Structure 1
């Protein structure tokens, strides 16, 4: 996968900061009206701005990167034409993105184009998001409310901050399952080699590679972001700007279980599509930052969940979890890792995360208690020294 967050960070960190020794001999073209001095990208994104889609343009970088970077454009450019904005962002990315990264991105883009041009879709209608056809009425009603009350009236919240709810209609689950089976047959018949979802799952497909990227990003923008803004504000739920969407499969001749881990995401959506299966329960053991990812769990953090077709689990990506063995049948799940470049940039400037990591919170409390104890000991020692000094003074006077 293209590391959109890292590329965006490079552009933000470097925009307008090159020294004369670093300047290329021939300046790249910039959008009209920028001027020779150039304009810097905004460090804080304009969350009110609705970015455009760049899917239909021939670009050197992932179109999703342009859409997410658009919110960082200076105010003077936000109302420019789409081509001018794309040209400006392209020039910045070309200037600061390493050649090796550009080559890798181009190869991944060619890989996707090869799949899309060869693969014949089975259910064309599921590649564009149709809320009324896809989602359960209770889910649509909750999202339309856009409030903590509407979400918590519909979603079931565990004591460890995990939310479960009915999300997908059976017909959509059936079509997506059939589409995935169709993808697997195409891979086998065409003798193609495809990238699997991640290092832990050896079976399944990356939906973005097969043309679902726009549909899934719309799912993030229009549905998951409003929910995350209310339920997970501490991990920048309001600024989810990219994703990784994929299917995982468990059962005989598939993956059996999933080891204990955290996701490369700020917010994770996990929806069971079916089919008939036994086992495969998810087990959660608390949210942790990198420094505390292997620390012990407390009783309040222990939560187990049994999958139900059409029902979703929504949790922080840093919520440690795994999946027990699927003991019979075939289980298929849709996974959507939702990411925030803003949150990832902020993490670079933080040393502890007591706002969302219980491990950091405990460390902070321990430091505070140690500081209070040390201060108390100093005050006691000074009081004792004062008493001794007074006694010595009296003895000397006598």
Structure 2
């Protein structure tokens, strides 16, 4: 597979097959209402610290959006509303969401909810303990110790940064990897036996499953909230790392009888967690080619931006969703990876009003530096010309004075 510096021909925006897969987290920061009585329906820019939101799981059949989205948005409600009843908060948040959600999208959300309900009503989980996420039996001890201390120093003690913005660390115990693989295999067996047609994780993978669709949504939401967001808050503040509030979780599978490789793309996320679950395989390395905003997504790769990473079971790779990447061919065996796209509705709303992304886009930063260097060069040139003119003026005055002295003598 070619990974030349110019990705124009093979670049793709990596998206889930439906915006309904746990939602895009597009909670609005504010909403202008045609009715004066509702003009005050707004969310805060920053969440209320230490607020524990209500659970809306039991209202799933009544809500137009994911219950997890309501729990996430609740932390952004104006403080006076936090003490109101759950029903009052639901009405307030639903009003905002409906204003920012097209009719077609709401229809897809409802259809996808029905799709999930059919699965949940018929699929029998293999490992029930997997769905409640017992941290001590799921994560390696070093990872849990770092999360407990919750400081940049503790995170850096377990993390390596082989290339700027790419963080690698050991995360899952081997038993957790095995359980996830067993659960995926069990679900795929049920799909085959019942001839149930399922949605694949995204528009680029023909194999793999969406974990949220068969009951693991709550577990993955907790993984993002308690185990990914604390790290993202430290290392990715410029792309909403501290305000991650929704996710899309899935497992992808590679092998000669599965997806073999993955083309050059960016993810539909602010932060992506990629954990190798195993099994025995060769090939399948990730290749990274720099972080880009929408405007520069097809720009050339600079030499220092190229980085290749070889997977190790149980180890995680954390990177910005806009970090361009792909996967080389898996030449033998079978490889499976847990992918968690983490999104921030606050960051996405604010991004609509920004034009400069040099804090995280490599090309924006390079362009800004080139402009700065050009400006400095221009200033130096003007100063040089001024000094030259000043010297010529002094020489001219000196010669003129000398001529007058000679003439008078």
TM-score interval (norm. to shorter): 0.7 to 0.9
Contact 2:287 2:328 in 1 (8 A): yes
Matches within 5 A, 1:31-50: 36=37, 39-48=40-49, 49-50=51-52
Q: Which position in structure 2 is the counterpart of 1:248?
A: 252
TM-score after normalising by structure 2 = 0.86
Q: CA deviation at 1:385?
A: 6.2
Contact 1:39 1:74 in 2 (8 A): no
1:320 aligned onto 2:299: no
Q: Which position in structure 2 is the counterpart of 1:32?
A: none
Q: CA deviation at 1:214?
A: 0.7
1:184 aligned onto 2:188: yes
Matches within 5 A, 1:114-263: 114-263=118-267
Structure possessing the higher relative contact order (Cα contacts under 8 Å, 6 or more residues apart):
2
Q: Which position in structure 2 is the counterpart of 1:340?
A: 344
Gaps of 5+ in 2: 1-17, 405-409
Q: CA deviation at 1:38?
A: 5.6
Q: Which position in structure 2 is the counterpart of 1:267?
A: 271
Change (3 A) 1:246 1:96: closer
Q: CA deviation at 1:111?
A: 1.1
Q: Which position in structure 1 is the counterpart of 2:19?
A: 2
C-alpha distance in structure 2 between counterparts of 1:331 and 1:317, whole Å: 21
Change (3 A) 1:55 1:138: same
Q: Aligned-residue CA RMSD in angstroms?
A: 2.4
TM-score after normalising by structure 1 = 0.88
Instruction: Render the CA deviation track for 1:287-318: whole Å, top value 9, x for unaligned.
Output: 22222223333343332222111111111112
Q: Which position in structure 1 is the counterpart of 2:83?
A: 79
SS of aligned partner of 1:106: helix
Q: Equivalent of 2:105, from 91, 95, 101?
A: 101
Contact 2:24 2:247 in 1 (8 A): no
Contact 1:168 1:310 in 2 (8 A): yes
Name the count of aligned residue pairs: 380
SS of aligned partner of 2:341: strand
